[in-house]
């Protein structure tokens, strides 16, 4: 963390007159869902950006906001313009936000130089240009050309080595935004330097999509709770019948390897000791509780059972740090949301009591925790998706590494 300079360093440099100018580019993640009428449906990513924009604006800097939106495949696609997002930011900031019709060239330069001190301008979708995803050096230089400094406040895009996340840092002094800083501090506390015991919850449908994650965590955590559909594959690997449940039959040897490796690393794997069954996946089903080693051939596992939840609660009670990724069951349909909700609520209570540092993110995790009413009470919930998962897997994040190199 010490190698990454944040916007406080940038503001100090601006006040000292050492920046050489007052235009700063902020890489944000404005890739938010829109309704058919162009209104933002979920403004979470925008609200997390506000503290950085406000701090820079109040310091008198002129702020340009860079972002991708959707997958236009290097073409100008009207439906993927950032113009509606500029309007949404204006409402959230309670001040006018300008919009430039391009992120490079005369449109970008005029949009930025035309700002008053403290003004904000959203620049058009970086992915309208092929140079963005190719991390083209000339395009990165064109992005940087009108500016005097760069801030990355988009951890959710930090796993991409794109021109606006990595290449641009070769041309401008670079800093982390406040949301990026909070994310890095949370991740550092959760996995790099955690208080122990450290417990991780990993749920989801398939082992095959989370091999790197399971491998990395089993080498670092004290207890690994496995839930969701992938737990069925582990149960099958232990010789238990799983009926008609989702199960990756081709991954049984892999599951056994993971169990052996975890044991060798001193990591306890916690699989559900009882499960909740139904005839099929769908609404209107009554859950039937059954020991995990006695699943009937014509039944389907859709959730962890009450005994399993008690064991998970006990693991949380003994833990100092918790990392959570993925639901424990089919939480979208009652009554198969109970294990996820009850475990999440217990983690939230422990966190509120000051007994647990809890960090969650990736995939369906945010939706599952919000469904449980627990998300607001975790220490930190990441909306970063792929970047959060790649961090959990121990992979480098180019957008973060570029900031370290500048430090």
| Residue 302 CB contacts under 8 Å (≥ 6 apart), including other chains | 245, 276, 277, 278, 281, 285, 287, 329, 330, 333, 336
> Which is the catalytic residue, given 95, 206, 268, 307?
206
Distance CA 155, CA 229 (A): 28
> Which is the catalytic residue, given 5, 27, 45, 210?
45
| Residue 17 CB contacts under 8 Å (≥ 6 apart), including other chains | none
Q: From the CB of residue 305, how many other CB atoms can be counted at a distance below 10 Å?
A: 24
> Which is the catalytic residue, given 386, 394, 395, 407?
386
Task: Give CA angle at 102 (99, 107), nearest 5°.
Answer: 80
End-to-end CA distance of the chain: 10
Tokens read off for 341: 């909700």
Q: Are 195 and 321 in contact (CB under 8 A)?
A: yes
Q: Is 299 a catalytic residue?
A: no
Quote the crossing angle between the two packed helices 252-265 and 229-237, to the nearest 10°: 90
Q: Is 266 a catalytic residue?
A: no
> Which is the catalytic residue, given 204, 363, 385, 399?
363
Active site residues: 45, 206, 363, 386
């Amino acid at each position: 963390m010490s190698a990454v300079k944040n916007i406080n360093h940038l503001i100090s440099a601006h006040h000292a007159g050492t920046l050489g100018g007052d235009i700063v580019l902020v890489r944000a993640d404005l890739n938010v869902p829109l309704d058919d009428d162009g209104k933002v449906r979920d403004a979470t990513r925008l609200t997390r950006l506000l503290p950085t924009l406000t701090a820079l604006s109040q310091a008198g800097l002129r702020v340009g906001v860079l972002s991708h939106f959707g997958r236009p495949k290097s073409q100008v696609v009207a439906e993927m313009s950032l113009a509606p997002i500029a309007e949404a930011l204006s409402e959230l900031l309670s001040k006018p936000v300008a919009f430039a019709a391009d992120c490079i060239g005369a449109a970008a330069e005029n949009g930025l130089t035309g700002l008053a001190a403290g003004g904000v301008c959203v620049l058009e979708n970086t992915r309208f240009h092929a140079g963005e995803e190719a991390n083209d050096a000339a395009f990165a230089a064109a992005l940087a050309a009108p500016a005097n400094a760069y801030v990355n406040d988009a951890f959710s895009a930090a796993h991409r080595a794109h021109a606006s996340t990595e290449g641009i840092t070769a041309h401008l002094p670079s800093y982390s935004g406040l949301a990026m800083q909070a994310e890095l501090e949370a991740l550092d506390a959760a996995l790099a330097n955690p208080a122990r015991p450290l417990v991780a919850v990993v749920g989801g449908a398939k082992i095959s999509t989370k091999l790197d994650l399971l491998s990395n965590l089993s080498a670092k955590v004290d207890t690994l709770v496995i839930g969701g559909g992938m737990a069925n594959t582990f149960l099958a690997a232990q010789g238990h019948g799983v009926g008609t449940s989702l199960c990756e039959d081709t991954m049984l040897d892999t599951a056994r390897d993971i169990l052996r490796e975890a044991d060798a690393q001193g990591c306890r794997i916690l699989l559900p000791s009882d499960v909740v069954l139904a005839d099929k996946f769908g609404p209107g089903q009554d859950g039937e509780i059954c020991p995990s080693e006695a699943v009937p051939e014509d039944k389907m596992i859709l959730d962890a059972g009450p005994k399993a939840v008690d064991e998970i609660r006990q693991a949380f009670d003994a833990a100092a740090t918790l990392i959570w990724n993925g639901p424990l069951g089919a939480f979208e349909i009652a009554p198969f949301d109970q294990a996820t909700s009850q475990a999440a609520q217990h983690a939230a209570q422990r966190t509120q009591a000051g007994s647990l540092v809890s960090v969650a993110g990736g995939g369906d995790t945010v939706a599952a925790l919000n469904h449980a009413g627990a998300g607001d009470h975790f220490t930190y919930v990441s909306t970063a998706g792929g970047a959060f998962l790649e961090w959990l897997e121990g992979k480098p994040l180019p957008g973060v590494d570029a900031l370290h190199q500048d430090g």
